[in-house]
Amino acid sequence: MSGEGLHILLECRRRGEALRAMGYTFDEVADMFSVCHDVSPLRLYRYAYGLTAAEAAARYNDLDPAGTAALRESRLYEFEHWPQRGMRPIARTIALFAHVYRTTARRLVGDQVYASYSVRDRDLIDRTDHRSSHATQRSSGVPAALPGHATMGQEVEAARPAAPVPGFKDCAALLRALTAEEADVKRRDLLFELALALGGAPALVLLRHLSPPEKDRLATAIRSSTRVDVATVELIEKLTARCRRLDDEFGPAKVLPVVEGQRNLVADLLHRESLLPALRDRLIRAYAELSQLAGWLHHDLLDHPGARRRYQEGLAAAHQIRDPTLIAYLHTCLANMSRFQGRIGEALDHIYAAQGWARQSPSTLLRSVHAVDLARILAADGSARDSEHALVQSRHLAERPRTEADPSYLYWWTAAGVERHTAGCMVAWGRPDDAIRTAERALSAGMRKPARGRTLLEYAEALIDKREIAAATDKIREAVHITVSHSSGRLADTVRQTRARLQPWAGNKHVRTLDEELHSLGITTSRPV
């Protein structure tokens, strides 16, 4: 075997073992390898099993029922090179290789080769199926479902999630990306291993921010059961912080698999008995923060049961380490989701639960975030005076200098954010002129894509209240452009809700033009049930 051929085989062997460990079948592994290896199906299956030509030939000879097979390594190469060169294997040979690779004979020949066989030979190929001899194959490529949530009193270890297995398309995209971007085989293998552990191809964006020693340390943490040290925990915290910023850039659809993968890694680390108490608390905090972020991403994708489950798991972990700031933040997130769903009573329950914990928190920034969400919920409940008082309090707290007590996961919160939410409250209070002025001030400052989109839609609501239809459709259109570049389901849903308020003017030329644009972008004008 040539040096290059040996390197390819060893690379495929390592990748195949990693994919098999995640539950993928040999058929699926062979399909993934076809993305980056332009070879015959016979060779793809040998790569999937990690066999040399001599080993594959030996298995073939051992399976010949007549005991007369004498397949040589050189002849196998000729079969694998067909039809570009070499020679075509007879149908009986293909059927025997299907037994060797425990698959169907039809999967071992391409369409061009299959068409070259006689009707009788094609019938043999069609009938030969040895997949049932492989008892551990999965019935499909669909990953196992994630488990239910943990209750408050459960240990984090009891809520250890199932590994979020990347789907077939994502694994194929990962192989394609690594083949194109990374020439060094060892680094490519390391990135493949790390990306699989962290959710697939989207994790490559996260891994690019790590230095080579950090990648090696992360790989060691994934592979071994040795003691977790401070540097490993710091690396986990760095990755968690980076995941939050990835959501700003790429949206929840791409980031969620990465967050779930990292969350699973932290749960695995928490299962190790050699953790020192201080490091265990830091890892539990990382698990709680990742659960909160996963809940936020599920909510942004309109998966509210999934969001609630992750938030509750985060609460269980935060209670375990008695972190009032994180507990208050998780209750605030649950309140925000309930408000979005129109469950104002439930939102009030969570926001007042958060209030008690926020009073125990040393973070003024957390209390500002809580106060602004309290203002939004009170506005939706019709309590304008109390809502306005909460906004004043939130602005006052947000203007204070940050301290070490303010958690890094609130990096995005500033006094400008209070301005944005004030515009939304003013719409609910029935003060559209004030809402328009406030929204204009908020939009003049920098903010994240989804926040800007929601502010534009609140601006549009105020314009609709004033019956300025042309201007309102312009603001909705601006928000739509953000929607198509960010996977926020909540933002798209709010576009639908805002458009629904224009229904009395459905015949207006500006509204008709907006509807045509929404339709062209695949955004329906009715809210899904």
Interval 398-447: pLDDT, tens = 999 999 999 999 998 988 889 889 999 999 999 999 999 999 999 988 78
CA 134/CA 132 separation, integer angstroms = 5
Instruction: Round to whole Å and give the CA distance between 220 and 209.
Output: 18
pLDDT at 111: 86
Q: How far apart are CA 442 and CA 451, in angstroms?
A: 10
**Cis before residue 83, ω within 30 degrees of 0?**
yes
Residue 322 has pLDDT above 80, yes or no: yes
Which of 214, 320, 218, 213 minimizes the C-alpha distance to 269? 218
Residue 83, pLDDT score: 87
Q: Which residue has the tokens 């994708």?
A: 301
Contact, 109 vs 82, CB < 8 A?
no
CA atoms of 324 and 321, how far apart (whole Å):
9
pLDDT in tens, 445-464: 878 888 899 999 999 999 99
DSSP string, 256-289: HHHHHHHHHHHHHHHT-TT--HHHHHHHHHHHHH
pTM: 0.70
User: Which pLDDT score, from 0 to 100, does residue 168 have?
Assistant: 58
**Local confidence band at 112 (pLDDT 50, 70, 90 cut-offs):** confident
Helix %, strand %, coil % for the chain, to 5?
A: 70, 0, 30
> If you write DSSP's letter for every residue of 49-112 in order, what string do you get?
HT--HHHHHHHHHHH-TTS-----HHHHHHHHHTTTSS-PPPHHHHHHHHHHTTSBGGGGS-HH
Q: Print burial letters for 393-424: b (CB count within 10 Å at least 16), e (below 16).
A: bbbebbeeeeeeebbebbeebbebbbbbbbbb
Q: What is the pLDDT of residue 3?
A: 56
What pLDDT is stored for residue 205 in this prediction?
75
pLDDT score at 162: 42
State the Cα–Cα distance between residues 391 and 426, nearest whole angstrom. Answer: 11
Least confident span in 236-240, 382-386, 401-405: 236-240
Which tens digit of pLDDT belongs to each residue from 214-228? 888 888 777 765 667
- pLDDT higher at 181 or 72: 72
| pLDDT for residue 529 | 34
In 3-state terms, what secondary structure has residue 129? strand
Q: Are 417 and 395 in contact (CB under 8 A)?
A: no
Average pLDDT for residues 361-385, to the nearest whole number? 95
Of the candidate ranges 271-280, 307-316, 412-421, the one whose mean pLDDT is the lowest: 271-280
Element (H, E) at 529: none
How many CB atoms neighbour CB 145 within 10 A? 7
pLDDT in tens, 118-177: 988 988 999 999 887 544 444 333 333 333 333 333 444 444 444 445 565 666 666 666
Give the Cα separation of 323 and 465 in Å (integer).
43
Q: What is the dihedral sign for C-alpha 489, 493, 494, 495?
A: positive
What's the burial of 61, exposed, middle or buried (CB within 10 Å: 0-12/13-18/19+)?
Answer: middle
- C-alpha to C-alpha distance for 36 and 47, rounded to whole angstroms: 12
Q: Which amino acid is located at 190 in the chain?
A: L
d(CA 316, CA 229): 24
Predicted confidence at residue 29, as pLDDT, reads: 86
- pLDDT, tens digit, for every residue of 194-210? 777 777 777 777 787 78
